[in-house]
Structure 1
């Protein structure tokens, strides 16, 4: 599944680079870039839902932020139970990483364009290289 995400992401990056600057002459490449980007997000969403279901989902961050705010308000009001504390810890780090990634990605895209996608592609390569954690069955 990680390899599929990597291939789609690299295709998105290459088509996006070839379509820059996006104009009438780059219409087909821009369309292909968009389709490959959407397919990469779909592969990520499927991996998050099917293979990493024990972790906070990283493909629906709106829901994660909403849950984190609800749990934080419950903690501040003093009405949080043990499950609320555990859920807060589970959602905090993915939301923080997402926010930092959004900011970093925006600045990187502004600086170098689609080449900025080399960073998430490199992260996927590292994940391919790492051994599978013990006790986790590979479903893909």
Structure 2
């Protein structure tokens, strides 16, 4: 009996309630307007706000430089394209056309597509009667 009471006392001592820790404010959305009235909470609000602002500034600067770099590249390529098309040699610049249109055009030029096309037209005409 003595051993069982000792075991029960040991287990009871281990099951103490945990301490409630304060929740740290990490994000701007964790705060409310009433938190700014208290000086202690206002101080806690300061660090996440500064962290958010510095990361936002970094993102803004990197995106701004990326946009600037891409605009310069577009300008360079457009001037290169105009110079190539307007030079004395008249360098041919291919225009983007639909693949299907290009295929039909090439086949019509080579003369291989004309008989098949005529057969299809005749079939459609016969089926409509």
TM-score (norm. length: structure 1):
0.30
The structure richer in helix per residue is 1
**Bigger RCO (CA 8 Å, 6+ sep):** 1
Larger radius of gyration: 2
TM-score (norm. length: structure 2):
0.32
